[in-house]
Structure 1
Amino acid sequence: MEFKTLSHITIDELLSVFNHSFSDYVVPFHLTKEVLISKIAAEKLDMSLSAGAFEEGKLVGFILQSEKIENGEKIIYNGGTGVVPENRGKGLVRKMYDFIIPILKERNANTLLLEVIEGNQPAIRAYENLGFCIVRRLLCFNGNIKHGEENAGILIKDLKDFQWNILRSFWDIEPSWQGSVFVLEPMPENYITLGAYDGEQLAGYIVYGSAAKKIYQFAVDKNYRNRGIGTMLFNAIREKNNGQTIALNNVDDSSENTSKFLSEKIGLNNWLSQFEMKRSI
C-alpha cells in the first residue's frame, strides 16, 4: 500500500472510488461528475492537501481536504473520507492521516475539522481514537418550502455584495464549513443572494445555491425578528426554484429558535444530524 497526495488524480478516478466507497454508507449516495466538480470548487478542496491510499497504483481510499485561516488559526477541513469496501479493516484512514499530518505541520496547520453522521458509531469511535473530539451537533434539513404570510412593509431585492460586518451581526450561530465566509467569498455568480429591506435598511438575507439546491446561509437582524422577514426570504427562494426540494445543512442545534423556525414555519424536515469534530495537529 502506498500513500500519496491526490495532486495527480483524475476526476474520473476520484469519482469512481468516491461512489464505490459511499455505496453502502449510513446514508448511501451517488455523485455525478458535475456534482463532484461542484463540490470540490464550492468547498475549495485542495488535492495537494488531500491524501490517497493506493494499492498497486490504484486509488482505494481518500481524505479530501481544504484549508483556511481564521482568527490566526490554520484549519484543515475534511470534506470527505472514503475507503472502498474491499480494503476496509486495514486501518487506512489512520495511515492516511499519519501520511498527511506531517505535510500539514509543514504548512503550520493548527486544527483538523470534520463532520460525521450522528448514527455512524464506527466512524465516530475511529475519529475519537485518532484524537478528534465532538464540539457541536449539527442539524440537516430538507423538503419543500411552505409558503408563508408576507409582510407588506418589507421588500426583497438582490444582495449585490457581502458586507460581512453587517451580516455577521445578524448571526446567532456560526455557519459550518460549507456555509462559511471562506467558502462563500467571493460571491460566486451561481448563488442567488437576496436581502430583505425595510426602506433602505437591510433586515435579513439568504444565500441559495441553485445547482446544489442548498441554502448556505440565512439570518435576520435581531431587531427585526418575528416580523415574517425570514418567511419572506424563503418564499422568494421558493418562487425562484419553482417549489423544488431544497436542503439546508449543518444548523447548530444550540439555536432552538432556528430549528423551530425551519420545521414549523418553513416546513422542512430535520432528516439527519451530524457531529462536528476537531483535533489539534
Structure 2
Amino acid sequence: MEINTLENISLPELTQAFNLAFSDYLIPMHLTEPVLAAKIHAENIDLSWSVGAFDGGQLVGFVLHGTNKTAVYNAGTGVVPSHRKQQITRQLYDFILPKLKANHFESVQLEVIEANEKAIRAYQKIGFETVRVLQSYKGMIQPKYQPIAWQLQRLDALDWPLAQTFWDWPPTWQNSIQTIGNQQENIQIWALCTPEGSLISYLIYNQQSNRIQQFATHPAHRHKGAATYLFSHLAKQINKQTAMINADKADRTTDQFLSGIGLKRFIAQYEMMLSL
C-alpha cells in the first residue's frame, strides 16, 4: 500500500474511486465527472493537500481536502469495499496531518452522518472532536404571502460584512462565503431592502445544486414576515422541492421556521474538528 497526495490523479480515476467507495454508503452517491469537478471547484478542494491510498497503482482510499488560509475541510473520505477494515483512513491522516501542520494550517473540519458510528469512532481515534450538531431539510416550500413594507430585489453581490451581522451561527464549509463565491454563476441572491436601500433580509439559492445555501434577517426586523416572503418568492420561482443542508441544530428558531414553511428534517450530522 502506497500513500501519497492526489495532485497527479486524473479526474476519471478519482471519480471511479469516489463512486465505488460511496456505492454502499448510508446515502448512496454516484457523481459524474463534471459534477465531481464542480464539487472540487466549489469547495476549494486542493488535490495537493488531498491524500490517497494506492494498491498496485489503483486508488483504493482517499481524503479530499478543501482549504482556505488557515483551515482544512474534509470534503469526502472514502475507502473502496475491497480494502476496508485496514485502517486506511488512519493511515491517510497519519501521512497528511504533519504536512498540514508544517504549512501552518490551524484546524481540520468535517461533517459525518449521526448514524455512521464506525466513521465517528475512526475520526475520534485520530483526534477529531464534535463541535456541533447539524440538521438538514428538504421538501416543497409552502408559500405564505403577506403584506410587507420592503422592496424585493435580486442582488448581484452581497455586502458580506453587513450580512454576517445578521448571523446567529456561522455556516458550514459548503455554505460558506468562499464556497458561494466560487459558484457565482449558479447563485441567486434575493433580498428585501428598505426604499433607501438598506438590507433587511436575504436568501441565497444555488440553482445547480437546488439548495438554499444561506438566509438571514436583520435582528431588529425578525418575526415580521421577511424570511417567509423570500422563501415564498423562491417557491414561486422554482416550483419544485428544494433542500437546505447543515443548519445548526441548536437553533430552535431556524428549525421551527423551516418546518413551518414546509421543509422536513431528513438527516443530522456531527460537525467535527481537529486542532493542529
Equivalent residue, structure 2, for 1:162? 158
> What is the SS of the residue equivalent to 1:189?
helix
1:214 and 2:196 are equivalent in the alignment: no
Equivalent residue, structure 2, for 1:272? 267
**2:148–2:225 CA contact under 8 A, matched in 1:** no
Equivalent residue, structure 1, for 2:42? 42
Deviation readout 1:15-72 (Å, 9 max, x if unpaired): 1111111111111122222221221111111111100110000101110001123xxx
In structure 2, list runs of 5 or more residues that go unmatched.
none
Counterparts of 1:1-281 in structure 2 under 5 Å?
1-69=1-69, 74-185=70-181, 188-199=184-195, 200-241=197-238, 243-264=239-260, 266-281=261-276
CA distance in 2: counterparts of 1:79 and 1:132, whole angstroms:
15
> What is the SS of the residue equivalent to 2:98?
helix
**2:172–2:246 CA contact under 8 A, matched in 1:** yes
> What is the SS of the residue equivalent to 2:68?
strand
Structure 1 range deviating more: 196-205 or 59-68: 196-205
One-letter identity of the residue aligned with 2:46: D
CA distance in 2: counterparts of 1:187 and 1:51, whole angstroms:
25
Q: Say if 1:32 and 1:244 are closer, same or farther in 2 by CA, change over 3 A.
A: farther
CA distance in 2: counterparts of 1:175 and 1:40, whole angstroms:
19
One-letter identity of the residue aligned with 1:114: L
**1:17–1:61 CA contact under 8 A, matched in 2:** yes
CA distance in 2: counterparts of 1:240 and 1:21, whole angstroms:
36
In structure 1, list runs of 5 or more residues that go unmatched.
none
The TM-score normalised by the length of structure 2 is 0.96
Deviation readout 1:240-272 (Å, 9 max, x if unpaired): 22x1221111001121100110011x2001100
The TM-score normalised by the length of structure 1 is 0.94
Q: Say if 1:219 and 1:88 are closer, same or farther in 2 by CA, change over 3 A.
A: same
**1:151–1:229 CA contact under 8 A, matched in 2:** no
One-letter identity of the residue aligned with 1:21: A
> What is the SS of the residue equivalent to 2:29?
coil
> What is the SS of the residue equivalent to 2:169?
coil
**1:133–1:277 CA contact under 8 A, matched in 2:** yes
CA distance in 2: counterparts of 1:251 and 1:222, whole angstroms:
18
**2:109–2:272 CA contact under 8 A, matched in 1:** yes
Cα offset, 1:97, TM superposition = 0.6
CA distance in 2: counterparts of 1:238 and 1:185, whole angstroms:
23
> What is the SS of the residue equivalent to 2:158?
coil
How many residues align structurally?
275
One-letter identity of the residue aligned with 2:215: F
CA distance in 2: counterparts of 1:134 and 1:152, whole angstroms:
40
CA distance in 1: counterparts of 2:186 and 2:178, whole angstroms:
16
**1:76–1:112 CA contact under 8 A, matched in 2:** yes
Q: Say if 1:187 and 1:36 are closer, same or farther in 2 by CA, change over 3 A.
A: closer
Structure 1 residue ranges (4+ consecutive) displaced by more than 6 angstroms after TM superposition: none
- Taking only the aligned residue pairs, the percentage that are identical comes to 39
